[in-house]
Structure 1
């Protein structure tokens, strides 16, 4: 994978993947506003799959689990403008506003297609990626502008952007059954379920009577078998969507579990 990035600040970047494919399982620590210039992305969450391409603008809320799969398209690389909306910056923005967000747990990605104000705001960033000397306050001004536009476009967005709570302790079994396909470090799973790593492992053993890694591997293979047998998906697509990092490891683990390779279900 050849990856290139240009920065105005650490919160605003022009991201470019030149190769044919890039996949990552991610937990977003900050809200991310993304504008597509070229290429294509598939974002897989526990209950839905999104497809984005040139011209699309979307907001991914923080503390969300997702599998990100990036592709070039029509001979063009996967290229996006990415703006991070950090908790610190949002606290400053909302400091003097009388906003009381409703607390809700949402996996929703907010999509904003063909909105002239938001697209104009993000397009105005492009010249700055070519400049060596950048006005010192430009990033802060542009992020403030973007937040203001988002609030005009969707009144419910305050419930996301002005919510500064950290994950609390939640039902471990329900959460893991819903999110096992994301290949994240155990530290991330423990944080998102409101536990220390030691408490997470101890509670996991009580609930599932096995280790997290063994349980995760079994669950991912069972989901893969269903996707191949019932949904007739291709092994390469199933491999990445259920949490494996490469096709050879997936094929080896699948055959060890079921006695035949993934391709055996295609016949």
Structure 2
């Protein structure tokens, strides 16, 4: 069983420590995240590309993203990370305070690696020290340190301005391309609709026009088709793939596969 300690703060600073390997999982990332890998490794996958990080790495994760993750502690040690969550209200207040505004940008990258610098390391170490001393229980101190983090992000990459201070919601995007990229994420239809810039009703209507079937039926069939390929052509097992393909548990996957193909997936390798 995974043992963990998570210390969240209302203004958005989270320290996490995991004593054993986390099973592969997935997140919807609703807010921008500025993170520091204190120890261990974390690999993210956005549906197209893997983003690995190891001890001492810094990165910025864009909001409104679906990401799969694997957290791995070091040998005989703990997985540790420090994350600053930059919610929209904090960024709007910062924008007004410093008169900083976004310019139109076509930048769609989801995860940004940030070069390590002594200044960034000192900043993260100060957060760890303040946490250990209990100073981050003070909302005023938390707000100050988050503002410091935003200013540092703008120093290391001025282009972050056009991402941090873009307060628009997702625009209506290419539904077919998005679904073919993200079908394996186990999220509800409301989330898919939001991320494609649509209401749920519009999402269902547009989906029917594009795919000539309902979203639920298409998702099930698409996941099972990929499962069949991985099992028959790549030699994978059910336990290897069911989570990666968006199935909640192994029993659900096996039942759905047998209903679709007429036999259990475990019979493929016999």
TM-score (structure 2 length as normaliser): 0.85
List gaps (5 residues or longer) in structure 2.
Answer: none
SS of aligned partner of 2:204: helix
Corresponding residue of 1:240: 243
- The alignment covers a number of residue pairs equal to 267
Corresponding residue of 1:190: 193
SS of aligned partner of 1:241: coil
Corresponding residue of 2:253: 250
Residue 166 of structure 1 and its aligned partner are, at CA, apart by 0.5
- Cα-to-partner distance string for 1:199-236 (whole Å, 9 max, x where unaligned): 22233233323222221121122223344555555654
Residue 172 of structure 1 and its aligned partner are, at CA, apart by 2.1
Residue 265 of structure 1 and its aligned partner are, at CA, apart by 6.2
SS of aligned partner of 2:242: helix
Residue 47 of structure 1 and its aligned partner are, at CA, apart by 1.4
Corresponding residue of 2:83: 82
Corresponding residue of 1:130: 132
SS of aligned partner of 2:80: strand
- Cα-to-partner distance string for 1:182-205 (whole Å, 9 max, x where unaligned): 111111111111222222223323
Summarize the alignment of residues 203-214 of structure 1 with structure 2, pairs less than 5 Å apart: 203-214=206-217
Residue 255 of structure 1 and its aligned partner are, at CA, apart by 4.3
SS of aligned partner of 1:152: helix
Corresponding residue of 2:30: 29
Residue 129 of structure 1 and its aligned partner are, at CA, apart by 2.5
CA distance in structure 1 between the partners assigned to 2:52 and 2:206 by the alignment: 36
Residue 155 of structure 1 and its aligned partner are, at CA, apart by 2.3
List gaps (5 residues or longer) in structure 1.
Answer: none
CA distance in structure 2 between the partners assigned to 1:237 and 1:15 by the alignment: 27
Per mean C-alpha deviation after superposition, the further-off stretch among 1-10 and 140-149 is 1-10
> Which of 227, 236, 251 lines up with 1:224 in the alignment?
227
- Cα-to-partner distance string for 1:119-172 (whole Å, 9 max, x where unaligned): 221121112323445444221121111111111211221121121110122232
Corresponding residue of 1:149: 152
- Cα-to-partner distance string for 1:20-58 (whole Å, 9 max, x where unaligned): 323433221110111112233221112111222221111
Per mean C-alpha deviation after superposition, the further-off stretch among 196-205 and 62-71 is 196-205
SS of aligned partner of 1:173: helix
8 A Cα contact 1:57 1:112, kept in partner: yes
CA distance in structure 1 between the partners assigned to 2:73 and 2:266 by the alignment: 26
Corresponding residue of 1:2: 3
TM-score (structure 1 length as normaliser): 0.86
CA distance in structure 1 between the partners assigned to 2:14 and 2:153 by the alignment: 19
| Residues 1:104 and 1:68: Cα distance change in structure 2 (over 3 Å) | same
| Residues 1:244 and 1:8: Cα distance change in structure 2 (over 3 Å) | same
SS of aligned partner of 1:182: coil
Corresponding residue of 2:117: 115
How big is the alpha-carbon RMSD for the aligned residues of Structure 1 and Structure 2? 2.6
Corresponding residue of 1:45: 46
